[in-house]
Structure 1
């Protein structure tokens, strides 16, 4: 009888331990998924601004001669290259976000998957910050 009580006690302890571990894993997964979505929500609104900026760049490129009226010494070839590069960078940031959103699986219960997604979205936030600064710098003088 004592053996049965010991076995039941040991089983209960092991079961409780497994449930606790599973609960901790689920909580960690949930926290990571929420963090990924929070970063997404932080940078996603910039896409509309990036889209407007690419339209503005197209307009400037079509009327590049007007740059010379503001600054007769301007190197329009260099301005063209800068604007084309900026437009490419804006589009790359937007495309990266669209790809991430399409491929992201918030229901994945693997903590390592969510940690990897956090790294991706943080890198994307850095990309958005960099291209936003580049945009302000290059378009600020036009």
Structure 2
């Protein structure tokens, strides 16, 4: 009888310990998911700005000859290359955000998955900041 009671108590203790550990892991996963979404929410509004930059770049590329008449020193070949590079960077950052949003599983309780996603969206935030700076620097003289 004592042996059964001891085994039952041990099984119950192991079950409770496992449940507590799972609860702690679920809480950490939720905290990480919240962090990932907060980072996403911080950078997502930049997508519409990137779209506007893209439209401006298209317009500037179509009107390089006019820009040359306004600024005779403008190197149109170099400017065209810079605009194409910026356009590609804007589109790449936006595409990466769309893929991240499509593939992200916010309710995953896998702590390692959530840690990797926080790292991934943090890297994307850095890329967004770099592209935003690049766009503002290159496009500032052309915004009126």
**TM-score greater than 0.5 by the shorter chain:** yes
Q: Which residue of 2 aligns with 1:96?
A: 96
Gaps of 5+ in 1: none
Q: What is the CA distance between 1:118 and its match in structure 2? A: 1.2
Scaled by the length of structure 2, the TM-score of the pair is 0.91
Q: RMSD value over aligned CA atoms?
A: 1.4
* C-alpha distance in structure 2 between counterparts of 1:36 and 1:21, whole Å: 22
Q: Deviations over 1:18-47 (max 9, x none)?
A: 111000110011111111111111111100
Cα offset for 1:67? 2.0
Please state how far the C-alpha of 1:114 moved relative to its aligned partner. Answer: 1.2
Q: Distance in 2 between matches of 1:103 and 1:5?
A: 48
Aligned residues: 142
Residue range with higher mean Cα deviation, 112-121 or 10-19? 10-19
Q: Which residue of 1 aligns with 2:51?
A: 51
**Structure 1 counterpart SS, 2:108:** coil
SS of residue in 1 equivalent to 2:128:
helix
The gaps in structure 2 that reach 5 residues or longer are none
